[in-house]
Structure 1
Amino acid sequence: MASSETHYTLPRAEFDKPVKILIVVAPYYKDIADAMVSGAKAEIEAAGGDWDLIEVPGALEVPTAIGIAERMSNFDGYVALGCVIRGETTHYDTVCNDSSRGITLLGLQGLCIGNGILTVENYEQARVRAEVDEQNKGGGAAAAALHLVALARKWGGARKGVGFAPARDEFQIAGEGKGPTTA
């Protein structure tokens, strides 16, 4: 069983300027979500960071909420938390794949996201992974986000803008006046 295995863990990320992390959680399984949030908060605080918390209806909404927050706020990184337990239909596969894909696509655009959305076969697997004194996947997701923030700060400047650039009412072309142009 995975809970008896030991794995290497990177040293905690360190920062010379404050870090602000948004925890986005889908609390469908409330006790599982609460345990993961506790682990995430503790890890962020241990690294000297601040956090904010929002809840969304389900795992599919987590990437959307992160994308909105990135466009409209000032967080350094994000922790995605939730739990998907296999049921009797293929909906499990859709939720697992699409929530993960959404988070991955945001990450590839430069967002610093720790993915802590559990995808498990049963409640007991979720409980073991969520509990702070067991596998602490919420804390692990927060640690991942913090490490990515540290890399982003090491390698460059601000990273803003996810998706398409917003339309503007007026355009300016070098040497010409303001206003739209036609070809």
Structure 2
Amino acid sequence: MATAEQHHIMDTPAFDKPVKLAIVVSPYYKDIADNLIAGAKAEAEKAGATVEIINVPGALEIPPAIRIAFRQSNFDGFVALGCIIRGETTHYDTVCNDSSHGLMLLGLQGANIGNGILTVETRKQAEVRADPKDQNKGGGAAAAALHLIALQRKYGAPNSGVGFLPRSNDDDESFQIA
């Protein structure tokens, strides 16, 4: 059983500038979502981050909602929270795969995302994983987003001047290399 396994948990990163997180959550299973949110908010608080909750109908709407916020607002990172419990049809596989794939694509585009969308076989598994006093997957997702924000801030230094400069009136060439 997973509760017997030992996992290394990294320390919460420290920040010298404010951090703003969007927690994008599907409250389809409201009690589970509420526990995921509680864990994520507690982890964000440890880092001194501010949090805004964005509710969407289901797990498939989480990646598009994050994309909207990533492109049109000033969040430093995102925490994706929800729960997908296997049912009697293949819809489970579609929702799990498409929501995960959507989040990964956004991450590769530069969005700092912690994925806390539970993909489980039973409600009991979801309850254990969502419980902030047990597996605390909401807190883990917030921690992942915070670590990515810290990494981005560490390596996201201002442009070092590599590339092309626009032509000035004094230049004989149409461009120059910086």
Q: TM-score, normalised by structure 1?
A: 0.85
Equivalences for 1:143-162 in 2 at 5 Å?
143-157=143-157
2:9 pairs with 1:31: no
- SS of corresponding position for 2:9: coil
Identity %: 68
Letter of the structure 1 residue corresponding to residue 93 of structure 2? D
Letter of the structure 2 residue corresponding to residue 58 of structure 1? G
CA–CA distance in structure 2, aligned partners of residues 54 and 42 of structure 1: 17
Q: Report the equivalent of 1:11.
A: 11
- SS of corresponding position for 1:118: strand
Q: Report the equivalent of 1:135.
A: 135
CA–CA distance in structure 1, aligned partners of residues 33 and 4 of structure 2: 22
Query: Which is worse superposed, 2-11 or 40-49?
Result: 2-11
CA–CA distance in structure 1, aligned partners of residues 44 and 129 of structure 2: 18
Q: Report the equivalent of 1:96.
A: 96
How many Å apart are 1:71 and its aligned residue? 1.1
Contact map agreement 1:3 1:128 (CA 8 A) in 2: no
Say how many residue pairs are matched.
160
- SS of corresponding position for 1:18: coil
CA–CA distance in structure 2, aligned partners of residues 86 and 49 of structure 1: 34
CA–CA distance in structure 2, aligned partners of residues 61 and 13 of structure 1: 29
Letter of the structure 2 residue corresponding to residue 62 of structure 1? I
Contact map agreement 1:103 1:115 (CA 8 A) in 2: yes
Q: Report the equivalent of 2:20.
A: 20
Q: Report the equivalent of 2:52.
A: 52
TM superposition outliers: structure 1 runs of 4+ over 3 Å: none
Q: Report the equivalent of 2:108.
A: 108
Aligned-residue CA RMSD (Å): 1.3
How many Å apart are 1:4 and its aligned residue? 2.1
Consecutive unaligned residues in structure 1, runs of 5 or more: 159-173, 176-183
Q: Report the equivalent of 1:167.
A: none
CA–CA distance in structure 2, aligned partners of residues 53 and 65 of structure 1: 11
Q: Report the equivalent of 2:174.
A: none
Contact map agreement 1:36 1:132 (CA 8 A) in 2: yes
Q: Report the equivalent of 1:84.
A: 84
CA–CA distance in structure 2, aligned partners of residues 104 and 139 of structure 1: 19
- SS of corresponding position for 1:94: helix
Consecutive unaligned residues in structure 2, runs of 5 or more: 159-166, 169-178
How many Å apart are 1:157 and its aligned residue? 4.6
Contact map agreement 1:21 1:49 (CA 8 A) in 2: yes
